Structure formats: structure tokens, C-alpha cells
Amino acid sequence: MVRHHLGERGSNYSPLAFIVAKCPQQRSGGGKIIPFIIHPHHSFQGVEFSSMASFGHGSERQYPPKSNINPSATSLLPSRSFSNGTTVQAKFAQGPPSLRTMASNSSMNASPYNVSAAQGRNIPSIVPSISDKFSLSPDPAVWGSAVSLGQQEPDDDLHNPDPRRDRENDFGSNIFTYRGLTNLGCIFILGLGLIALFAGYPLISHFTERPLSTFGGFNIGGINATGQVPDLPGNRGLIDLDTPQSAYTKVSYTDPKKTLQLVFSDEFNTDGRSFYPGDDPYWEAVDLHYWATNNIEWYDPGAVATKDGNLEVTLSRKKTHGLEYEGGMVTSWNKFCFTGGLIEASVMLPGANNIAGLWPAIWTLGNLGRAGYGASLDGLWPYTYDECDVGTVANQTLNGVPATSTINGDGQHGGALSFLPGQRLSRCTCPGEAHPGPMHSDGTYVGRSAPEIDIFEAQVAGVPLTGHVSQSSQFAPFNDRYIWFNDTMIITDPSKTAINAYRGAAYQQSTSGLSHTNQDCYELETGCFTDYGFEYKPGFDDAYVTWISQGQADWTLLSSGVAADPIAQISARPIPQEPMYIIMNLGMSENFGDVDLEHLTFPTKMKVDWIRVYQPQDAINIGCDPKEFPTKAYIEHYLPAYTNPNLTTWVDDFKQTFPKNRFLGEC
């Protein structure tokens, strides 16, 4: 048995030779060939080896001689003989190629560690292996490389600095070279681009972004309450393209020398329009019970549509939401508003001219209050006031003063003049409290509210029953006994118009005139249309409201009619200055008069042929958020009050507080 001594010293080595030993077996005529890797500094039984040899039992393994052997390598280890007849030949790298490395045995049929041969037979020459063909000698000179330090190579100049040649660059050369400037320019452009991308673009996007509108819907793009995306036709500008050119201007009813300009119109000529939330850019039908006036019907968006060139608001006998009737109300709240000017509508009234109970109406309201949404109206309707005094507080009294306001009011409320909670957004509002603004030059807030001016509320009354329209405006705070100064009013035709005997109650003061209607222009009569409207100038002094029907002015309320009342200790109330939106509805309520359900015919319809708004050419003021009377920010801040009809009060339901009041000493 021959034992190798590889790795005994734990050092790295290059195997330079192999030994193949043929060990004797127990049976004669046999043996085992064992390859060994011998380090040139190792010894075997005291013998140093430098070449490949075979140990045999009576025979020697022969290999063909290898040419071009390096003499310096073969002379490293001389040949030696052993007593048992085995000879180690000093033939460097003369063994079979497959045995020169243990990494390859591709030239043999078995592992290099278990190679056997029959006794007395020679192993034939072995074909060189792949590893032998592509292995490199440890000496780089054999590879054909130029390793001499004195041999010149093509790239030596790059690695061999020359003091003379490089002197200009090494000492005092001009750094502002064309190449350097080009490099700096490229870096500058890249840096500028990165700054523009990561800093400039976000800033530009932030300041130029236009917020997407839902157009009253429930998602971006205005998905409506039915889940559909509205398909708006092209004719949806402020002025309807179907409006005749002859209607683009109109002479003022109060000043024949003044020409008014058309600023909004809707001819309703496109059939099939619906007014669910998100369906229309200017109109939206409500889905609620109008509990504030004890209506006996539910308002449903499906009751409002266009047909045969008219807007139809239908009231029908239909069980819905626990009620027996279904009506409709459509508004332009927070979509289209106007301040000052003339509004007119061509209307066919529902039902007959001699059957009472229907309550058709077209009216306007300040944008800070949404009709049917009680919390938004609480403390704002029907105020129109810009002073800080007792007129802004609850019940219009402070510590029982003035006494007349506790006894000369509504008999159904113990004689109290007012049951209103006080003006929520008054001029008395303390600094820093919630208020939509703006402010006066003295640092006080402008008194804000949701005033009401009605185009008409139609009713059938009197003996015999006859069709009338109430043409009115609602005010707060109230005059003593609700008696406004009607000695300055103007009635154009006393045979047609008279002052309404109803002047108000604990929740409103009304300045109202009653005018006869065209008795033919009802649904169950000839079905003709009549024009109704009002023209007004907001503010104090020369402000006014003039109501119109059948193409003529019926009566006029001057600002002097709502001047200061020393008995009630209140100041003058302005003709509404808030941006006003439009409301059209058809319902029923015993609050407005007797309801003759036995003789009323259902379904019944109020039809509107067109509606138009005009303003003086030097006083165009449209929009729901004018800078003089802004509403947008306040509405968005308290949005639930404007979108949840179940919130009926500001404090109890909406859980908000009234702003602190300076007149009450709360600042």
C-alpha cells in the first residue's frame, strides 16, 4: 500500500506530477493502479518524486514518450530504483493527459482513483482530454505575451507621463477649455431638467390644476342618483340656443328707458330631460318630504321632466315613502344664481281655476339656505338684515324688551312676535367666529341670510272660487304686529291686484299682493300660458321689487316699506342682496289653504314653457359665489347641512353652535 502526503502542511500547492502505483493483491497475477498527486517538496518513503511512474508487481506501466519536454523540468527529479524492483521515472508531464488533473476523467472509462489493468498487459495510449487541450501553462511566456519590461506597447503613452509634454496641463493651464465648458453645460442642462421635473412640475400642477366638478353628482364626472353618467347635449350654455333673438333684450318694467340684457334662459325644448342629481348643469330635482310646510306629498325627481317643449312638474296620487301623493320640486341651488334684475317664466297652471288645494309655485331663495334642508335654513330664513341690535337675537327680544314683541305678535304662540332662533350670521357675530364674510370697513361682519322673493304662489280662493297668485317677499326681523309701511307701495291696476290680508306670523313677515290670473291658462281650461315674474334692485334707498303677470307690472314694494321700526326697535331691512337661486314646485298643504281632494283630478301638471333672467347692462351679476356675498367656502365647510334633509335644525340635529353675538355680550 502506497500512501500520499498531500496537504499535510496545510499549504497551497500546484500539482506537478502523478504517481500510479500498482499494489500487490492477495491473488497472484493481479494488482490495483492508484494515482497520486505529488507535490515537488513531498516525499514518499524518503524518496522525492518529480515525475509520473508506475509501481508494478513484475511489470511496469509504459507510456509513449512525449516530445518537447522542458529539460529544466525533467532534470528536477532524477530517476531512482527501489529494492522491490520498482522504478520512478523522471519524466515530467509524460503520463497520460487524463491523469494530469483530477478535474477530468473524460478520457477514461472509470474513476482515476480506481483504474485497473490485467496483469502483464500494457495500457494503450489515451486520447488527450478537453481540459488538456484548453489548459494554459503557468508561464505567461508560453502564451506568446510580451512580458519584457523593455518591450514597447501601443498604449504606453497613456501610462507613461512625460514632464515636458504634460507641463502645460500640470502647471498653470487654462481650465476653461471648450471641452470643459461643454461638460459643464451638459451638467447644467441635466440639473435644470431634474429641478424642473421634481420641483417645477409639481408646483405648476398645483397652481394650474382645475378641480373636477361632480355637477351635483356623487362622483368625479357627475354620476347621478340612478347610477348613470349624464349625457349632456351641446345646448347647455347659460343662454339656451333655442331662445329667440327677439328675447335677448327686454325693456325694464320700472324704467322704459332702460334696456335689460338676457343672462340666462332655458326653453325646455329638448324632450326627455331628467333632473336627478347630476343629470343637468343648472337644475336638480329634490328627493324629500317638505315637512316645513306640512306638505302631504313626497317630492321625487321622477316627477320632473321635459315633454312637448315644456318642463312638466307632476303631482299624482301615488303611495310613496308612507305618503299618498307624489309631487316634484326642481331648483338651481348652488348651480345658477343671480343678484338683481328681472326673472320671468311662461307658465300653465295645474288643475282648474275653481278647485282649491293645489300649491304650484316659482320662487327664489338666497343661496346660503337650501329649500327642504332645515339645518341650512335655521337662523337664516327669512332674514335680510345688516345691523347689530335686538333684531338679530332669538324671539326678537332681550330680557323681555321690547315688551310689544312679547304681546302683539302671533296669537297661536302666546302673542310672541317671533319664534325665530335669531340671525345666525349677523353683523353682531364676534371676531373669529364662523361666518362667510365679508366685513365692513369698521371691522364688523356683513349680515348674511337666506331671504325669499316669490314669483308666484298660485291658489284658488274667494267667493266664487277664482284663480289668484300671491306675489310676495318674506322678511325678518318683523315689524310690530307684522304691519309693514304699505303707504309707499305702488299698485298698477287695483281691479286686478290687492294687498294680501295675510301679513305674517311667528316665523315670517310677508309683504304680499294678490293678483287675478288669466282664468283660461289652467291645465283643465284652454291650457294657455301666462308670463309671471319680478324685477328688483337689491339694497337700501332706491331699492324695490316689482311683481309682473300677463305682461304688465302688478305692484311694487319700495325699500321704504321695510324701513326701521322704532316700536319693534329694529333697523331698516334691505331688499335682498344675497345671490338668489330659482325653485319650481307643485305640491299640496293645508298650511296654504283648503285642499279639496274630493274634486281635484290626478295626475295634474304645472307646465313651464321657458324661464329667462335679465339684468341691466351695467349691473351684470350672476353666480352663486359673488365676492360681495360669498357662499362657496361656508357651504363646503358645513356641507352635511346642505346635503342631508334629515338634519332639520342647526343645533339639535346638526350639533353645531350659533356664533357668539356681540349684542348679547358674548365676545
Write down which residue in 107, 139, 171 finishes a domain. 139
Strands 530-537 and 310-320: what pairing? unpaired
Which percentage of the chain shows pLDDT scores above 90? 66
Write down which residue in 139, 173, 192 finishes a domain. 139
For residues 516 and 528, the answer to whether their CB atoms sit within 8 Å is no
Q: Is residue 406 part of a domain?
A: yes
Distances (CA, A) of 475 to 122, 156, 284, 421: 131, 102, 26, 14
pLDDT digits (tens, 9 = 90+) for 157-195: 767 777 777 666 666 566 677 888 899 899 999 999 999
Average model confidence (pLDDT) across the chain: 82
pLDDT band at residue 236 using 50, 70 and 90 as cut-offs:
confident
Same domain, 445 and 566: yes
For residues 503 and 557, the answer to whether their CB atoms sit within 8 Å is no
Query: Over 50: is that where the pLDDT of 33 sits?
Result: no
Q: CA-based angle 229:611:541, to the nearest 5? A: 120
Instruction: Tell me the DSSP string of 190-218.
Output: HHHHHHIIIIIHHHHHHHH--PPP-TTSS
Give mean pLDDT, residues 280-294: 97
Same domain, 126 and 265: no
Q: Which residues touch 445 (CB under 8 Å, ≥6 apart)?
A: 425, 426, 427, 429, 435, 437, 438, 439
Q: Is residue 160 part of a domain?
A: no
Domain range spanning residue 307? 245-642
pLDDT band at residue 28 using 50, 70 and 90 as cut-offs:
very low
Same domain, 118 and 255: no
Closest CA to 331 of 269, 376, 287, 289: 287
pLDDT band at residue 233 using 50, 70 and 90 as cut-offs:
low
Q: Is residue 205 part of a domain?
A: no
Handedness of CA 19, 20, 25, 27 (dihedral sign): negative
Same domain, 123 and 253: no
Selected residue with higher pLDDT from 116 and 180 = 180
Q: In terms of DSSP H, where are the helices of 513-607?
A: none
Write down which residue in 139, 173, 207 finishes a domain. 139
pLDDT digits (tens, 9 = 90+) for 367-424: 999 999 999 999 999 999 999 999 999 999 999 999 999 999 999 999 999 999 999 9
Q: Is residue 467 part of a domain?
A: yes
Domain containing residue 445: CATH number: 2.60.120.200
The pLDDT assigned to 155 comes to: 74
Same domain, 280 and 135: no
**Structural domain tally of the chain?**
2
Q: Is residue 233 part of a domain?
A: no
Q: Is residue 182 part of a domain?
A: no
The pLDDT assigned to 247 comes to: 97
Q: Is residue 410 part of a domain?
A: yes
The amino acid present at 572, given as its one-letter code, is A
Give mean pLDDT, residues 623-633: 97
φ, ψ of residue 259 in degrees (nearest 5): -105, 130
Q: What is the pTM (predicted TM-score) of this model?
A: 0.68
Q: Is residue 655 part of a domain?
A: no
Q: Which residues touch 260 (CB under 8 Å, ≥6 apart)?
A: 249, 250, 251, 252, 341, 342, 614, 615, 616, 617
Give mean pLDDT, residues 212-235: 51
pLDDT digits (tens, 9 = 90+) for 564-613: 999 999 999 999 999 999 999 999 999 999 999 999 999 999 999 999 99
For residues 613 and 349, the answer to whether their CB atoms sit within 8 Å is no
Query: Over 50: is that where the pLDDT of 8 sits?
Result: no
Q: Which three cell numbers stand for residue 246?
A: 327677439
